[in-house]
């Protein structure tokens, strides 16, 4: 079964938290698939990862860039896994084939009631499917605290 961690974003947005988690993914020697809600969002995240920190570098790409098999981080709005990732990052309320991955990071905006409700439904579904679940909530400083 897949280890699925829900990341409840309340203090800092996805654009500030996703790059840090992707850095840790690469440090662990893993490949990542990031699923976004639209082609425009894919390209926005693609641009963000080039510019989020002038002292950091996250090798990544999207369909627009091509060569998925060469990219440690692949950003898509589909269900494909062309870079052979073992870590899945779900954003924008997206779902994906979580059972195909070692770990899944379900990141949702805690300031949007509809996204919180959708995350609760995904939690119930994943739990019923037998996946190992964890819930992380942002602290006042933008760090993470594991709850329940």
Within 62-123, strands assigned E span: 73-76, 87-90, 103-109
Q: In this predicted structure, what is the pLDDT of residue 33?
A: 98
- Whole-prediction pTM value? 0.96
Find residue 74's DSSP bridge partners: 33, 61
b/e sequence 51-88, b meaning 16+ C-beta within 10 Å: ebeeeeebebbbbeeeebeebbbbbbbeeebbbebbbb
Give the tens place of pLDDT for each residue, 51-87.
Answer: 999 999 999 999 999 999 999 999 999 999 999 999 9
Q: In this predicted structure, what is the pLDDT of residue 112?
A: 94
Q: Does position 116 have pLDDT exceeding 70, yes or no? A: yes
Find residue 5's DSSP bridge partners: 105, 134
């Amino acid at each position: 079964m897949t280890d699925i961690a829900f990341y409840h974003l309340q203090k800092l947005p996805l654009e500030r938290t996703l790059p840090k988690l992707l850095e840790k993914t690469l440090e662990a020697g893993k490949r990542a698939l990031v699923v976004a809600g639209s082609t425009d969002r894919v390209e926005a995240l693609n641009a963000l990862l080039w510019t989020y920190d002038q002292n950091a570098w996250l090798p990544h790409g999207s369909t627009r860039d091509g060569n998925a098999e060469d990219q440690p981080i692949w950003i898509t709005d589909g269900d494909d896994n062309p870079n052979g990732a073992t870590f899945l990052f779900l954003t924008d309320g997206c779902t994906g084939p979580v059972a195909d991955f070692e770990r899944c990071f379900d990141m949702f905006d805690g300031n949007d009631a509809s996204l919180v409700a959708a995350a609760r439904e995904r939690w119930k579904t994943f739990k019923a499917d037998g996946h190992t679940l964890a819930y992380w909530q942002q602290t006042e400083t933008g760090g993470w605290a594991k709850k329940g």
